[in-house]
Every structure is written in structure tokens, then in C-alpha cells.
Amino acid sequence: MTADDVAAFRTALAATFGYDADLEDEGDADRFAAIFDIERLYPAFDGDQVVGTGGDFGFQMTVPGGGQVATTGLTVVTVRPTHTRQGMLTAMMRRHFDLAQERGEILGGLWASEAPIYGRYGYGPSASIVNAKLDVRHSGHGSAEEGVTVRLVEGPEAERLLPAIFDRVQPTRPGMYQRTADWWTHRLFYDPEKYRDGASSMRHAVAESDGEPIGYVSYRQKASWDVLADGQIRIRELMPATDAAYRALWHYLVTIDLFPIVEYWNNPADDPLPFMLRNGRAAETKVSDGLWTRLVNLPAALEARRYQTDGRLTVQVADSFCGWNEGTYLLEVNDGVGQCERVTAESDVSMPSSTLGSLYLGGQGARGLARAGQLRGDVASIQLLDHMFRSYPAPWCPEIF
């Protein structure tokens, strides 16, 4: 795409997602220019009108074991309602994967607006998210974390402390990708009034132990009174680097006077919040899909992660959309390190690439996926696959891209 197409691209993107692009807002324009690499955006034209949009980010994403993997993050996918169901998305996806192959990106990720769209292109949901809404008046809470203090930070201090904490956490959880300085400036710290939905500007609280920053939470406050104070804390990002920081930050969040409702839309699937409350049931939770994953270069991706259990399995993968992956592979794991090669042997387990996408980050068990009819094999092989691929901690992606 060229710079001349940016305005039409932004207009089409906004229109299909149901809002209006504010082309006059210089902040929005700067943000778009800083976040997107226009060489990685691909508009679809009908004549000279942009009728479809798509693009990707190049990320380094954590996989089980802590390795950083070149990942293509699909984003800004839209087709105007006048042009849907004519194969435009399929054409974009073709281009997306072919370019990823050329660039040497071995993994693909996305957040889906609707769950039925992306399985056909080989993606599977791989990192669940837990929405939590907590009424502190019912839940109660434990005591403060000894040895950890929490203080509010802002401006340059927040801009210095938060990325350093994030960088400490990022390699420890599969599904988290590295953030650039531009991403910090134009995403987490970009805080115009129109993004606040009636709530306050973003607050940042940092947990410290012996003066060392060990975690942060970024949140907004929405004041509300109906005789009794009924305000909300809306968490944007909770990033504890230690367990003590996790407990201290939650204790802080549930003891803010006048704000008894704490909402968080994106807790990791292994989040133990209810266990910290006197009445854990008061944390209303809802689980849904977050990050979706697909293997672009199958053997390279399987060798990039680490495994919980050693073993040997032949795995047959059906992948019609990225046909270069289709085939049977021997995955041999020694000391947690996998070697993967194409073989002609009979397979122990077989699955479509979307199922392998769901398994890859270690958040979905092979036994459950087999139960759902997503993979086949004998019981012992499925059990071994399950033990090999599981990851602790659970995969999690802290933000939509």
C-alpha cells in the first residue's frame, strides 16, 4: 500500500467496524502511522474504491519454554458489506500466508471478531481469556501483602517503569509478544478522552519490594452513586512479575474506597483470583477465546517450543490452505527439546492444522480436543500428546491487536 491510500484504508476499516474514521484528528493519524507498517497493509479495491482491508504486524511471541518466535499477527480485516462472500477474505489470507512464508515468520496469530471465520484458514483458539466482574462488598478480600508497597506513578516515570516490568513478564508466558516503544506510546499510554467511555484517564499503580518494581496495574475509574457509592475500577492491564506482586496489586484494587466493582475483561485462564477472596463466587467469570494461532512453518514452529514430557509421536496434519505443511511428521522430544521431521510412516495421531494451532501454545489439552472430535488417535498417543504439549503458565495475550 502507498501513503496515498491511507485515508481511504482508514475510512473503509472504520466503516465496516461501525464507526467513523476521524481523518482530521492528528493524534489518530500519528498513531496509525506509528503502529502500522504500510508495507504490511493490503487494501482490496473495486475500481479505485477501497472495499476491503487487511494487514499484519511482525511480532516476536513467546512460546512454551520461553523462546521468541517470529509471528505474523493478522489485523484490520474487513470487507465492505457490499462486497462480502465473494472470496475477498480468502484472497487476503492467501497473500498473508505467502508473505509470511517469504519473510520467514513461522507462526500466525489473531483475535477473531467472530469465532466461525478463521478455522478454515488453519487457526485454532489457543489462549482463553476470563472476563471477571467482582463486587468487593460480597467477595471480601484477604490481608495486605507484607513487604510489598503499591504507589501511583504517572508521566515519564510510568513510561519508564511499566515497559521494564512488562519485558520481565513477557518471556514467561506463551502468547505474549514484545512491545516496541511506539506500541507503548500509541497503545497503552495513548489516552484521549474519546477512548474513556465516561471513565477517568488511565491510572498506573506499581508494586515494589525493597524499592524494586515487581508489577503494575493500569486502570480507569468510573465514579457512580446511587445513595451508596457504586464506582467501578476498569482494569486495562495487570502485569505482576512475581506472585507477591499479583497478590499486592489485587489487594490494592479491591480496597479502593468508593469503587466496589472491579472489572477485568482479560484475565489469563489460570488466574487464581477467586481463591484470594473470602467469597470467591462473588467474582463472576466468563470464559471466551482470546488469541488464535496457526502454524505457518510447521516443523520450525514445533522445534521452537519446549515440551513438558519426552516422547516420540508421529503426527499427521491436514492443511489444505498452507499445503506446504500437509503431511506426517515424527516429533521426538528429548529433555524437553523437540525434533521434527517429515516421514512416510503411519501416524499415531491425526488432526487438521486448526487443532494443532489450538494445541501449540499449551493451553488446550489434547484429550479434550480428541473428545470434541478435533483429533484422532489411540488413547495412549493422545495422552502422551496431551502431556507433551501442556504449558504452565497458561498462554495469554494481554491485548487485542
Ligand X SMILES: CC(C)(COP(=O)(O)OP(=O)(O)OC[C@H]1O[C@@H](n2cnc3c(N)ncnc32)[C@H](O)[C@@H]1OP(=O)(O)O)[C@@H](O)C(=O)NCCC(=O)NCCS
Q: Which grid cell is 367?
A: 484429550
DSSP assignment of 24-84: T-HHHHHHHHHH--GGGB--EEETTEEEEEEEEEEEEEE-TTS-EEEEEEEEEEEE-TTST
401 is catalytic: yes
Could you give the CA distance from residue 139 to residue 77 in angstroms, rounded to a whole number? 40
- Work out how close the CB of 375 gets to ligand X at its nearest, in angstroms, rounded to a whole number: 22
R_g (Cα) of the chain, nearest Å: 22
Q: Residue 18 or residue 155: which is nearer to ligand X going by CB?
A: 18
Q: Which three cell numbers stand for residue 184?
A: 507503548
Site string for ligand X, 107-136 (x = CB under 6 A): -----xxx-xx--x----------------
Q: Using the rule CB under 6 A, which residue among 2, 82, 85, 228 binds ligand X? A: 85
Of 53 and 391, which has the nearer Cβ to ligand X?
53
The yes-or-no answer on residue 389 being catalytic is no
**Size of the residue set binding ligand X (CB under 6 A):** 17
Q: How many helices (H) and strands (E) does the chain have?
A: 11, 18
Q: Which stretch, 20-28, 80-88, 325-333, 387-395, contacts ligand X (CB under 6 A)?
A: 80-88
Contact 126, 360 (CB under 8 A): yes
Burial 123-159 (b: 16+ CB within 10 A, else e): bbbbbbbbebebebeebebeeebeebebeebeeeebb
Among all chains, which residue has been given the C-alpha cell 491487536? Answer: 401
How near is the Cβ of 84 to ligand X at its closest, in Å? 3
The CB-of-44 to ligand X minimum distance in angstroms stands at 8
Say whether residue 90 binds ligand X (CB under 6 A): yes
Interface with ligand X includes 288 (CB under 6 A)?
A: no
In Å, how far from its chain's centre is CA 24? 31
Q: Which 7-36 positions form the footprint of ligand X (CB under 6 A)?
A: 16
Element (H, E) at 208: strand 203-209
CA dist 69 and 174 (Å) reads 10
Active-site residue, from 32, 57, 59, 118: 118
339 binds ligand X (CB under 6 A): no
Nearer to ligand X, 78 or 325 (CB): 78
Judge whether 148 and 330 are in contact, CB under 8 Å. Answer: no
CA 274 and chain centroid, separation: 22
Shortest gap between Cβ of 255 and ligand X (angstroms)? 38
* Residue 290 or 365 with smaller CB distance to ligand X: 290
Smallest gap from residue 304 Cβ to ligand X (A): 25
Residues 84, 185, 232, 308: which binds ligand X (CB under 6 A)? 84
CB of 68 to ligand X, least distance (A): 25
Among residues 6, 21, 63, 79, which is the contact residue for ligand X, using CB under 6 A? 79
> Which residue, 113 or 339, has its beta carbon nearer to ligand X?
113
By CB under 6 A, which span of 23-31, 79-87, 158-166, 208-216 interacts with ligand X? Answer: 79-87
- 230-251: b (≥16 Cβ within 10 Å) or e: bbbbbbbbbbbbbebbbbbbbb
Task: Return d(Cα 246, Cα 357) in angstroms, integer.
Answer: 29
Which one of 9, 59, 307, 401 is the catalytic residue? Answer: 401
CA–CA gap between residue 258 and residue 271 (Å, rounded):
25
Q: Nearer to ligand X by C-beta: 94 or 387?
A: 94
Cα–Cα distance measured from residue 396 to residue 62, given in angstroms and rounded to the nearest whole number: 10
> Which C-beta is closer to ligand X: that of 100 or that of 214?
100
Choose one: 71-79, 134-142, 195-203, 388-396; the region binding ligand X (CB under 6 A).
71-79
* Shortest Å, Cβ 318 to ligand X: 17
- Which residue ranges make up the site for ligand X (CB under 6 A)? 16, 77-79, 84-90, 112-114, 116-117, 120
* Residues tagged active-site: 118, 401
